[in-house]
Copies of this chain bind each other. A is one copy, B any other.
């Protein structure tokens, strides 16, 4: 599949954009007119630069408001078009996008539109270029791909074909299956965009909220499968209007975009297995979602405070790494690595996660094909090689074989014991979820990363009020819930904070089947809990018919409580050290949430504490 991207998707000057697209690995680009107009580069210079970078120039766009008009307007439109055809000749671009008329169309007549497109086709042909006609979802008369296809068929001109754009089709709820019926030779160009499911006017939705495939709510895989079945094998291009992407680092956004097309190819290749079509889809190593977390890693220049907290929660010290200042802590099969390799005494933060996968090498290979950056971890010949990649939020993602006693543990702790298995003191049974802070610039990128690299599924997002703004929380998890990540978009006020107190803290949540025992043990060990206000418990009493003894126990242990149908959720938070705190949760009767109603209590308490520390 030939990959392409419209220059409007990303930030910077046209030069920046071309360079970033080439570096990311796109085959070609669409020149968005605005980017050319403001560029000091001449068309010839742009053409030469693209050639040097190995990029094809696949489309010139957009040309607007052509058809469905009176003869006088049409003549002026042909004059406009001819100027652009000359420009395209200089650029060496052979296809122009024509959007269905939104502003000047006065005649609602497909036959007339076809005749006018035919005249445009004649003119285009004389310049050796062709017209890809696209139905905008808000076109004045033509706003479905079915109708644009009728007009193109009626025009019956070799230089007039279709452009299909997934946004315009899927945003209207149109069925893309009809694409299979369109002769591939008449599909001149294809643009892909995903979008979050929003209920707003389509124009605003399209102009501000589009995202790369896999980052929104559209079924782009099915769309792609219909497209491949049509026989189309031209460029598949991204056309994303997104307010955030326009402000983000251009190289990074370009990589994010290419990743979306690689992911989509892989998904479609899987869906179309056994079928043969002209378009060659590149598949990647097939991996299954992770079976669980091998370990979580906390990096800190002062490991003592994190170690104390782990001990209070019942974790045992299992030894120091034989070469490095790295400690292993475990409870049953739940492992936490405390990495002290930070010279600057930096505050604790979650730095890495080990995911248990069937085929670690395949998983790494897939991640690297998806343009993830490998993480180099030094190891000696007799040490386990752990391979991983960096996630967009900076978390290191490692792939480990599924094992109750991973081989890397051998590198830890001669002279110490490892509790192993489910001893009577092992009340924590697994890492329930990990909450990771996401800068607003890279949130969509992170969703696609975790979806494509780890095969996690996206759940509906929630918004949690905090004293410094709404926190958007997006859960990504395996279908079976064995791995759950909660991605939190950090409010603007905290985004630029250094990693000292004041940044948005991340946390690891441990699951237990006896939270009261874990909490009591922690109290006995002198743990500092996040304090829950009395007002919360009074509201709890109003909200749920809880018996007074239960309520008293919850309050005594600073436990939070939430109910969802039959399900019950009990949890508590530790104090925050650096940018890290820990949570212990108990899920009863199939509760599947994360205590969203209680999160504001935590955020308010953490806000107050941060402020006190800053003073």
Contacts and interface: CB of A to CB of B under 8 A. Distances in A.
Interface string A522-537: 0000000001011110
A147 interface: no
A13 B607 contact: yes
B533 A600 contact: no
A530 B247 CA distance: 23
A533 B39 contact: yes
Contact of A87 (B16, B246, B470, B538): B538
Contacts of A376: none
Interface string A590-615: 00000000001101110110000000
A40 interface: yes
Contacts of A200: 198-201, 204
A43 interface: yes
A103 interface: no
A278 interface: no
A111 interface: no
A84 B468 CA distance: 27
A76 to B, nearest CB: 7
A104 to B, nearest CB: 13
Nearest to A43: B535
Contacts of A465: 8, 34, 246
Given A76-B545, A79-B545, A469-B246, A33 B539 contact: yes
Nearest to A32: B465
A34 B533 CA distance: 12
Interface string A9-50: 001110010000000000000000110111111110000000
A545 B75 CA distance: 12
Interface of A: 8, 11-13, 16, 33-34, 36-43, 76, 79-80, 83-84, 87, 198-201, 204, 243, 246-247, 465, 467-470, 491-493, 496, 531, 533-536, 538-539, 541-543, 545, 600-601, 603-605, 607-608
Given A38-B601, A80-B542, A247-B491, 15 more contacts: A11-B468, A12-B467, A13-B604, A16-B467, A34-B465, A34-B600, A36-B535, A37-B600, A38-B603, A39-B535, A40-B534, A40-B608, A42-B535, A84-B542, A199-B204
